[in-house]
Amino acid sequence: MAIGYLLIQARTAHDAIPLSGVQISVQDDQGNSVYLLTTDENGETRTVTLETVDKRFSLNPSFTGTPYVTYNVLARIGGFHPLYITQIPIFDNETAILPLTLVPLTEAGRSPVPMEITVGKPAVAMQEPRNQTGTTAAPDEMQRGQTGTSAAPDETQRGQTGTSAAPDETQRRQAASEVTPLVLRQVVIPNPITVHLGTPDSSAANVQVSFPDYVKNVASSEIYPTWPAASLTANIYAIITFALNRIYTEWYTSRGYSFDITASPAYDQYFVYGRPIYESVSRIVDHIFNEYVRRQGQLAPYFTSFCNGTTATCQGMSQWGTVTLAEQGLTPLQILRSYYPDDIEIASTDVITNVTSSYPGTPLRLGSTGLDVQTIQTYLNRIRRNYPAIPAISDSAGVFQSGTDAAVRKFQNVFNLTADGIVGKSTWYKISSLYTAVTRLAELDSEGTTLGIGTVPPGTVLRQGSAGPDVITLQYLLDVISAFYPGIPSPTQDGIFGSGTRQAVTAFQQLMGLTPDGIAGPLTWKALYDTYQGIQQNVPSPGPDTSSGTINYTVQAGDSLWQIARQFGTTVDALMRVNGLSSDLLRIGQVLKVPVSQSSSYFEHTVHSGDTLWLLAQRYGTTVDAIKRLNSLSSDLLRIGQILRIPRM
pLDDT digits (tens, 9 = 90+) for 189-232: 998 999 999 999 998 999 999 999 999 999 999 999 999 999 99
- What is the pTM for the complete model shown? 0.80
Give yes or no for residue 571 having a pLDDT over 70.
yes
pLDDT category of residue 546 using cuts at 50, 70 and 90: low
Give yes or no for residue 421 having a pLDDT over 80.
yes
Are 196 and 204 a contacting pair, CB within 8 Å? yes
Beta pairing partners, 453: none
Query: Average pLDDT for residues 481-490, to the nearest whole number?
Result: 91
* pLDDT at residue 240, rounded to an integer: 98
Domains of the chain with CATH codes: 2-120 (2.60.40.1120), 125-348 (no CATH), 371-441 (1.10.101), 452-538 (1.10.101.10), 550-647 (3.10.350.10)
Type of residue at 138: A
- Per DSSP, the three-state class of 432 is helix
- Over the range 473-512, which residues count as b (16 or more CB within 10 Å of their CB) and which as e? bbbbbbbbbbbbbbbbbbbebebbbbebbbbbbbbbbbbb
The dihedrals phi and psi of 123, each to the nearest 5 degrees, come to: -60, -30
* pLDDT at residue 536, rounded to an integer: 86
Calpha distance 217→89 (Å, rounded): 13
pLDDT category of residue 127 using cuts at 50, 70 and 90: low
Q: Which residues contact 350 (CB under 8 A, 6 or more apart)?
A: 290, 358, 359
* pLDDT at residue 133, rounded to an integer: 47
* pLDDT at residue 165, rounded to an integer: 31
What is the percent of the chain where pLDDT is above 90? Answer: 61
Sequential DSSP letters for 633-646: -SSS---TT-EEEE
* pLDDT at residue 12, rounded to an integer: 93
CA distances from 559 to 333, 409, 608 (A): 66, 41, 10
CA distances from 210 to 15, 218, 243, 355 (A): 11, 12, 13, 11
Higher pLDDT: 615 or 488? It is: 488
Higher pLDDT: 645 or 181? It is: 645
pLDDT category of residue 100 using cuts at 50, 70 and 90: very high
Query: Average pLDDT for residues 592-618, to the nearest whole number?
Result: 72
* pLDDT at residue 618, rounded to an integer: 64
Give yes or no for residue 370 having a pLDDT over 90.
yes
CA angle, 507 then 511 then 514, to 5°: 90
User: What is the separation of C-alpha 317 from the centre of its chain, rounded to a whole number of angstroms?
Assistant: 29
Interhelix angle 229-248/211-222, rounded to 10 degrees, is 130
Choose among 289, 316, 276: nearest CA to 215. 289
Q: Which residues contact 443 (CB under 8 A, 6 or more apart)?
A: none
Calpha distance 207→184 (Å, rounded): 23
Are 194 and 206 a contacting pair, CB within 8 Å? yes
Give yes or no for residue 452 having a pLDDT over 70.
yes
* pLDDT at residue 139, rounded to an integer: 27
Calpha distance 544→50 (Å, rounded): 39
- Among 115-124, 349-358, 365-374, the least confident range: 349-358
pLDDT category of residue 562 using cuts at 50, 70 and 90: confident
pLDDT category of residue 58 using cuts at 50, 70 and 90: very high
Start-to-end Cα distance in the chain: 45
Number of helices (H), then strands (E), in the chain: 18, 21
pLDDT category of residue 398 using cuts at 50, 70 and 90: very high
Query: Average pLDDT for residues 475-502, to the nearest whole number?
Result: 93
Average pLDDT of every residue of the chain: 85
pLDDT category of residue 134 using cuts at 50, 70 and 90: very low
- Among 96-105, 175-184, 270-279, 409-418, the least confident range: 175-184
Calpha distance 402→211 (Å, rounded): 32
* pLDDT at residue 643, rounded to an integer: 82
The dihedrals phi and psi of 172, each to the nearest 5 degrees, come to: -60, -45
Calpha distance 117→645 (Å, rounded): 42
* pLDDT at residue 115, rounded to an integer: 76
Interhelix angle 229-248/279-288, rounded to 10 degrees, is 50
Higher pLDDT: 304 or 129? It is: 304
* pLDDT at residue 126, rounded to an integer: 78
pLDDT category of residue 137 using cuts at 50, 70 and 90: very low
Calpha distance 416→422 (Å, rounded): 14
pLDDT category of residue 442 using cuts at 50, 70 and 90: confident
Are 307 and 316 a contacting pair, CB within 8 Å? yes
State which H helix or E strand residue 85 sits in. Answer: strand 83-90
* pLDDT at residue 129, rounded to an integer: 57
Give yes or no for residue 499 having a pLDDT over 60.
yes
CA distances from 33 to 27, 74, 402 (A): 4, 10, 43
- Over the range 130-152, which residues count as b (16 or more CB within 10 Å of their CB) and which as e? bbbbbbebbeebeebbeebbebb
- Among 19-33, 156-170, 310-324, 420-434, the least confident range: 156-170
Query: Average pLDDT for residues 523-551, to the nearest whole number?
Result: 81
Calpha distance 192→190 (Å, rounded): 5
Higher pLDDT: 538 or 277? It is: 277
Higher pLDDT: 276 or 601? It is: 276
Alpha-carbon dihedral angle through residues 492, 494, 497, 500, given to the nearest 10 degrees: -20
Q: pLDDT tens across 146-178, in order?
A: 223 333 333 333 333 333 333 333 333 333 333
* pLDDT at residue 507, rounded to an integer: 94
Is-cis flag, bond preceding 192, omega within 30? yes
User: What is the separation of C-alpha 57 from the centre of its chain, rounded to a whole number of angstroms?
Assistant: 32
Query: Average pLDDT for residues 372-377, to the nearest whole number?
Result: 95
Calpha distance 94→219 (Å, rounded): 14
Choose among 197, 191, 224: nearest CA to 209. 191
